[in-house]
Amino acid sequence: MNKYVLILLGAIGVGKGTQAQRLAQHLKIPQISTGDILRAEVQAGTELGLEAQRIMNRGELVPDDVIIEVVRKRLLEPDAVRGAILDGFPRTVPQAQALDGLLKDIDLPTPNVVSIEVPQEEIVDRLSSRRVCATCGAVFNLKMNAAAMEQHACPKGQANIIQRDDDRPDTVLQRLKVYEEKTMPLINYYRRAGALRQVSGIGSENEVFARILIAMDPELT
Ligand code: AMP
């Protein structure tokens, strides 16, 4: 049984979530998005959700030990036995180090890493027009697919299209700053490990998907 772990790196708003969903379908392994898990906790009003909400709204990162535990539990679920597409995790060097240990413990291979790269001005522009369905998580962009947004039939029944609280302009700038400070060092971490592939995130969703497939282990594509 082939096992595979892919980390999608990239600043906020580069299309990681959309590409992670497609890759998960393609490779038949789950997408694990720590942002989605935290938002579900917020909606459910759990203790973790309450703690995370304040931090997320400020554009900061939840503490490493908290998020590592979230990922550990998620990777132990049966659907992740062949691996996963990690989207939004790791985001700091200590998280990456913890992930290396965790993958060894649960007998999953060392991760491949694809970094999706988009210039900062383009990111701010994209995020200000990003909308999501709060019920099912589908992502839209006012500029590109307003029609899809109008026709959206939510698989969970009740479409609820909103702007994420943390997509407001001041929080976006803070999130980009946190990305530069805390997450950029991961590029070097994985480059040194020989695991890093970099692709441009400019162009259509299909074009970026094709680039990622080429950048990944060719046996899988
Ligand atoms: P995302 O949907 O990936 O942009 O995540 C939204 C927010 O959730 C982030 O701005 C952080 O506050 C929090 N978050 C998600 N993943 C992590 C992580 N790996 N480490 C710390 N905080 C995270």
Region 146-164 average pLDDT = 89
22, 39, 74, 130: the active-site residue:
130
Percentage of the chain exceeding pLDDT 70 = 97
Provide the residue range defining the domain that includes 110: 4-30+77-220
Band of residue 80 on the pLDDT scale cut at 50, 70, 90:
very high
Query: Is the entire prediction scored with pTM above 0.85?
Result: yes
Q: Taking the CA of residue 70 as centre, how many other CA atoms within 13 Å lie in the half-sphere pointing to its CB?
A: 24
Domain-located, residue 63: no
Has 130 been annotated as catalytic? Answer: yes
Domain-located, residue 72: no
Atom index in ligand 1 nearest the CA of residue 95 equals 19
Domain-located, residue 133: yes
As a whole number, the mean pLDDT across the chain is 92
- pLDDT of residue 218 exceeding 70, the answer is no
Region 196-220 average pLDDT = 89
d(CA 96, CA 105) in angstroms, rounded, equals 14
Per-residue model confidence (pLDDT) at position 147: 85
- pLDDT of residue 220 exceeding 70, the answer is no
91, 126, 182, 197: the active-site residue:
91
Per-residue model confidence (pLDDT) at position 112: 94
- pLDDT of residue 86 exceeding 60, the answer is yes
Domain-located, residue 97: yes
d(CA 167, CA 102) in angstroms, rounded, equals 31
* Protein residue closest via CA to atom 23 of ligand 1: 61
- Ligand 1: which residues within 6 Å by Cβ? 12, 34-35, 38, 55-56, 59-62, 67, 88-91, 95, 166, 175
How many domains does the structure of the chain reveal?
1
Q: What is the CATH number of the domain that holds 99?
A: 3.40.50.300
Domain-located, residue 68: no
Domain-located, residue 165: yes
The residue with tokens 């392994």 is 29
Has 164 been annotated as catalytic? Answer: yes
Domain-located, residue 141: yes
Per-residue model confidence (pLDDT) at position 8: 97
Region 143-152 average pLDDT = 84
Q: For residue range 4-19, what is the model confidence (pLDDT) as tens digits?
A: 999 999 998 899 999 9
CA 1–ligand 1 middle distance (angstroms): 31
Closest by alpha carbon to 203, among 116, 109, 78, 98? Answer: 116
74, 175, 182, 211: the active-site residue:
175
Domain-located, residue 56: no
Quickly list H helices, 58-113: 64-75, 93-105
Atom index in ligand 1 nearest the CA of residue 60 equals 12
Q: What is the DSSP letter of 195?
A: -
CA 63–ligand 1 middle distance (angstroms): 10
22, 131, 164, 182: the active-site residue:
164
Band of residue 90 on the pLDDT scale cut at 50, 70, 90:
very high
